[in-house]
Amino acid sequence: PKLPQFPEVYKLRAGAIAVYPMYKGLAKLVGMTIIPTGQTIEDEIETLKKEWNNYDFFFVHIKKTDSYGEDGKFDEKVHVIENVDKVLPEILALNPDVLVVTGDHSTPCAMKGHSFHPVPIMFFAKHTRRGLSKAFNEFECARGTIGTIHATDVMNLILAYSGRLEKFGA
C-alpha cells in the first residue's frame, strides 16, 4: 500500500531498530530507514548509540515483552522490562530532545494475548511537566500530567516537546 512517508510528514530523518520482521516491514512502509542490529536489547542500544548522529528520530522496538505476554511467561516479561529499565540511562546519556517509552498494545500474561487495555506512556524532555507519578505502570501513567491520550496525539506531543511542532498563528 501507498502510505504517507514519515520523513515527508514530520520532516525528520527516521531510523528503525527492530528485531522482529513485521516491525521492520511497517517501518519501511512508512519511509523509515531499517538499521541492522543484533538480537538482544543490548545490541539494539549499541546500534542506537552508533547511529545516534545519523537520524533525527528513532523507533526502537523490543519484541520480547509482547511474546512473553502471549506465552503467559510473567517472570520472563518482567525480566525484559527490567532490562529496558537498565539501559534507559545509556539512552539518556545521548541527550535526546525527547524520549518516549510505551507499547504498541497491551499483552497481559494472564490473557496470553493482546488486549483492550490502554498502554502506559512516558515522555521525558526538557519541557515536560513533572507529575506526581512515582512509577512507570498503567495506573501511575494514567495519573500523570498527560493522563490517557489517543495514539494519534503522540507524534504531535513528540514534536512539541522537541521544539519542532509547526505553530499556526502564534
103-141 per-position pLDDT tens digit = 888 899 999 999 998 888 888 898 887 777 777 776 777
Handedness of CA 97, 94, 46, 141 (dihedral sign): negative
pLDDT given for residue 126 in this prediction: 87
Q: How many domains does the chain have?
A: 2
Same domain, 125 and 100: yes
Domain extent for 38: 1-61
Same domain, 52 and 30: yes
Same domain, 42 and 53: yes
Helix (H, G, I), strand (E, B) or coil at 96: coil
Q: Tell me what percent of the residues of the chain surpass a pLDDT of 90.
A: 69
Same domain, 153 and 78: yes
Same domain, 43 and 98: no
Q: What is the mean pLDDT of residues 67-84?
A: 94
Give the pairing of strands 33-34 and 14-17.
parallel
What CATH number did the domain enclosing 117 receive? 3.40.720.10
